[in-house]
Amino acid sequence: MSLVALASYGYVAALLGVAAYQDVKKREIDARNIYALFLPAPFLLALNLGHALYLLNLAYGALFAAVLRMLRVGRADVFAVGSTAFLPPLTGDPLSLPTLSIIINSMLLQLLWVPYQYFRNLGAPCRFEGIKERLTMICVDVEEVRRRPHRYIVAYRRGMDLEHYDPRAALEAIEGLEHVKAFYGFPTLLFLFVGLVMYMATGKNLITLLIT
């Protein structure tokens, strides 16, 4: 890895680590940290624009960022993914490009939560309607929701718009209850950060590591 590549990866990893910490603690990320992720972009573009794999990674970054935004993923997460498009590939493997590898790593790490969540819900006092709710929601103590409302999206009524979720209305709706079903607000930036560190350590993603 060249000195420029090493410095760019270290810089992005440090800023993403700070943003991930903020995401875990309070789900509020300082926008300056996210915008600062793009500071190395002009230099990296100038140095790598003639390389086919770098251009392919730029395309991956734009594609994934657009898809995530269409899925109403938070802007900080979208910008974080977009910033990885400017990182130079660590290997010549087109299946192990930075953005693709970071996305694959973070998605597989998030999937590990699903079986844990299912088995945790088996003995929970909440009444789940089908396997889908057991896989996507958790049963949580109302006092925990009151202490950390930023971590949970409470299903307090049918057909609610998650994009415009109102925590105050949710707390009012669950007044008097002991337990409630909720979606756990995944700290996506944490998974992206870990996915980036894994890529920096191996130059590959979890899939290409398993098949090679």
What is the chain's pLDDT, residue by residue, as a tens digit (212 residues)? 678 788 999 999 999 999 999 888 877 788 898 999 999 999 999 999 889 999 999 999 999 999 988 877 778 889 999 999 999 999 999 999 999 999 999 999 888 878 888 887 888 888 888 787 888 788 888 888 888 877 777 866 565 555 566 667 777 777 878 888 888 777 889 999 999 999 999 999 999 998 87
Per DSSP, what are the bridge partners of residue 96? none
Say what the pLDDT of residue 2 is. Answer: 75
For residue 106, how many C-alpha atoms fall within 13 Å in the half-sphere facing its CB? 23
Please return the burial class of 104, using the count of CB atoms within 10 Å of its CB with bins 0-12, 13-18 and 19+: buried
Q: pTM, whole model, 2 decimals?
A: 0.80
